[in-house]
Structure 1
Amino acid sequence: MTTYHINLEGDVLKVRFGTPANGDQVIRDAAARLEEMVASGELSGGKLLKIDGPASVAVSYLIAHKISQLYGAIAVFDPKIGRPGYKTFITAVSQTPAYKIGELIETDEPQQKGKPIIKVVLCGPPQSGKSCLREGLKQAISNIEGAPYPYVITACPDGEGAWFSDAARRDLDLARRLKDEYKAKFTAEFAQKAAGWVRSASTPLNIIDVGGRMTEENRVIMREATHAVILAGDEGKEKVPLWEEFCRDLNLVIIANLDSDYQGKEDKIDTHSPLLTGSVHSLKRGEDVSRRPMVQALAQLLVGLCRG
């Protein structure tokens, strides 16, 4: 099985991750597929090519390198912008005056066909391992056949974006230094911007990582979501009832209430329904936690919500 899928549907290049693998293998598979499509004439060029689907930074550079010379312009789908329910693309490459860099191209293609849009917030006290859970959950969902791509929105200016986990696995000290450099203040302006990202998100499954405090800024962001997962470590367990109340006040459906057992040796699942409860152990930065039983259970729960 390939680690990266690329298919042409009309004037839209559909891309998605396949079998989990390191980035170097993903790049080789993507390159081979693109070369095959060009050689066969499937990618023969034209005025405009739209790209829809998740891609790593490396794959994005590869696609631009391989096919940008074939098309007058290339536009990339961005789920954070545009009318709710319809796909909007941003022009990223242009060699023609017909399209300007940064121009938005809205299509009539419905983003959803009767299925719900799930926007689940990972919340709870600070230092509980939410970012580690986020990355493990993303990997676990990607490994479920037929699951929607888990689109992650980092809605806190702590400098720890989706890149952090991969960087930490290679060089934890460097990742921490970069995080400190990227860290910004949590302002009302940032909250409004992040709330807009969540509100406009139109992919089937969206995971929102928020800060660890019950602030007005988090209230603004979280009220745009649909569901909540609460994660708390030993030092924050007494705050869980307050987080539950905070979520209920925002009309969020709490689907999981989890203990973060940093010193633990194994996960513990207490209940699956009506609420997923139990513990996930040792959420350490830089570790792959995607195969932990609790992470797997939460991934299955979220995919099930998307399927209705």
Structure 2
Amino acid sequence: MNPFPAEMIGGPPHSGKSVLVYALSQAQVAHYVLRACPDGEGDWSQETSKDQVRLSRQKGQFSDEFVEGVRHDIERRHLPLLVDVGGKPTLEQEQIVRACTHAVLLSATPEGLAEWRERAERCGLILIAELQSVLQGEDRIDEAT
């Protein structure tokens, strides 16, 4: 068993997963971010103007080889991983989720959180946090354990 966690960052499309992963990446803790979705996003998309991102980003497609390669990389991790799995994994792509150990969920709606909570439970992940994302407003903690 691998001693390092692989923390899935999950939630519906456009819920702020890439923004959250970028913010977590700025922490001074040894880790690696694995973008487990071929959507072309990465730290560069958080550090570049939105117009440049629209021009440069090229979305890829999931293939069996891509899914298997990501799953293989997660299982053989040498540092803690933050795994951005994208917003719409299919049942076949859930093998990436199952290779993770923990989950941080992010959604703008309770329904989005419920869908991803069910996915995390089905895949046997330990839930670390559920976060509600909003574009406007103040940060707050509703419950801490």
Fold match (TM-score > 0.5)? yes
Distance in 1 of aligned mates of 2:56 and 2:74: 25
**TM-score (normalised: structure 2):** 0.91
Q: What is the letter of the counterpart of residue 18 of structure 2?
A: S
Aligned length: 145
Q: Which has the higher strand share?
A: 1
Are 2:82 and 1:201 aligned? no
RMSD: 1.7
Asked whether the equivalents of residues 120 and 226 of structure 1 are also in contact (C-alpha less than 8 Å), the reply is: yes
Percent identity of equivalent pairs: 37
| Cα offset, 1:136, TM superposition | 0.6
1:56-67 superposed matches below 5 A: none
* Secondary structure in 1 matching 2:141: strand
Q: 1:223 aligns with which of 86, 98, 101?
A: 98
1:1-308 superposed matches below 5 A: 116-139=3-26, 141-142=27-28, 148-166=29-47, 168=48, 171-179=49-57, 181=58, 183-203=59-79, 205-234=80-109, 237-264=110-137, 266-273=138-145
Asked whether the equivalents of residues 228 and 254 of structure 1 are also in contact (C-alpha less than 8 Å), the reply is: yes
Q: What is the letter of the counterpart of residue 10 of structure 2?
A: C
**TM-score (normalised: structure 1):** 0.45
* Secondary structure in 1 matching 2:99: coil
* Secondary structure in 2 matching 1:228: strand
| Cα offset, 1:189, TM superposition | 2.2
Distance in 2 of aligned mates of 1:165 and 1:223: 27
| Cα offset, 1:128, TM superposition | 0.2
- 1:63-86 deviations in whole A, cap 9, x for unaligned? xxxxxxxxxxxxxxxxxxxxx87x
* Secondary structure in 2 matching 1:255: strand
Q: Structure 1 unaligned runs (5+)?
A: 1-83, 86-115, 143-147, 274-308
Distance in 2 of aligned mates of 1:160 and 1:253: 26
Asked whether the equivalents of residues 128 and 233 of structure 1 are also in contact (C-alpha less than 8 Å), the reply is: yes
* Secondary structure in 1 matching 2:120: helix
RCO greater where, 1 or 2, for CA within 8 Å and sep 6 or more? Answer: 2
* Secondary structure in 2 matching 1:261: coil
| Cα offset, 1:214, TM superposition | 4.1
| Cα offset, 1:187, TM superposition | 2.2
| Cα offset, 1:261, TM superposition | 1.2
Distance in 1 of aligned mates of 2:73 and 2:43: 15
**After TM superposition, what 4+ stretches of structure 1 lie above 6 angstroms from structure 2?**
none
| Cα offset, 1:226, TM superposition | 0.6
Bigger radius of gyration, 1 or 2? 1
* Secondary structure in 1 matching 2:43: coil
Instruction: Look up the match of 1:89.
Output: none
Asked whether the equivalents of residues 214 and 246 of structure 1 are also in contact (C-alpha less than 8 Å), the reply is: no
Distance in 2 of aligned mates of 1:186 and 1:255: 27
